[in-house]
Structure 1
């Protein structure tokens, strides 16, 4: 959670089969993102927040 109540998330597709992905692709998947506002309620329910 951020200070303003948003939920941070990691990108998918970064755990295995990395040999066929370009270096740029893997680098961009490293950065975190935020859960979209449309999914926020569902994610909070799943996390029991």
Structure 2
């Protein structure tokens, strides 16, 4: 999973040269009916002035 996340971050940074920040969060939901479920949140901040 770490490789996939690294690839996503690399894509965001390469495609958007004005990326100021990129954050990935992986967490296990408090209530889940699936044994090994995880949630992933990806956020990025761009500078539109560049």
Q: TM-score, normalised by structure 1?
A: 0.27
- Higher helix fraction (1 or 2): 1
Bigger relative contact order, structure 1 or 2 (CA pairs below 8 A, ≥6 apart): 1
Q: TM-score, normalised by structure 2?
A: 0.27
